[in-house]
Amino acid sequence: MPPVRDYDGARGRIGGVNRWWVAGVASLGLSFVLAVLAQAFKHDWLPPEISFSQYGVGPAGFLFSLWVVSVVAAPLCFLRFRPAGWLPAALLWIAAAGAVVMAVVRTDPSGLQQSWNSRVHTTGSVVLLAFLPFGICLGLAKARRRWQVLAWLLLLAAAVSLTLLLFAAAGYDSAGLGPQKSWAFWQTVAILAEIAMVVIYAAGVRSIPAPDEVEDSAADVADVRPG
């Protein structure tokens, strides 16, 4: 029987769980707290009157910035827990770059997106919302099938919501609430769908076997073969 190896290392574990997974869950939990605080300080509960980015305007705007960063930090931790190759890593890091742009460069109070900082902020949000879901789905490529299916279904929901958001941006009342409120509604649905994907990533990534487990399984198969 081959010796039992600890792939994560004794120093890399907290209470028997890999510290990167713990860090990701902590970041995800922090994002929920920050989201509630941002809404409370703004006195504007979901869905927002104008857009999600308006939570970043004003004295408590730092809560929005921290929320954006904490949301994207979680999947990066899960990716470190179970590396999935260069493509999901590239997608998640590009999404993280978009999140940082959103956090640093905030939008206008009016939400009209006419100033340079508002346009830069919007660009960052588009990058985040476009790359994050695909990075998560590819990061779960070796997870159990149910987690993959859930992730892709949520990606589809986010894609449909963003498409309807674009219709609202063009002046169509795609949610029956008026163009502006339709924009805010579909943006909220898309963001909540992608946050749910991060939750699925947190649960599903633990079903991915560690590299040493795969090696040991292959070694066990080789040992039982007739010589």
Backbone angles phi, psi at 38, to 5 degrees: -60, -40
Q: Is 53 left (phi over 0), alpha (psi -120 to 50) or beta?
A: alpha
pLDDT tens-digit profile, the chain (227 residues): 344 344 444 455 554 569 999 999 999 999 999 999 999 998 888 888 878 888 998 899 999 999 999 999 999 999 999 999 999 999 999 999 999 999 999 888 766 667 888 889 989 999 999 999 999 999 999 999 999 999 999 999 999 999 998 888 888 888 888 888 888 899 999 999 999 999 999 999 999 998 765 444 444 434 445 55
Q: With both helix axes pointing from N to C terminus, report the angle between 86-104 and 61-81 in degrees, rounded to the nearest 10.
A: 170
Q: What pTM was computed for the model?
A: 0.85
CB contact at 8 A, 54 and 111 = yes
- The C-alpha angle with vertex 195 and arms to 61 and 140, in degrees rounded to 5, equals 140
Write down the domain spans for the chain: 12-213
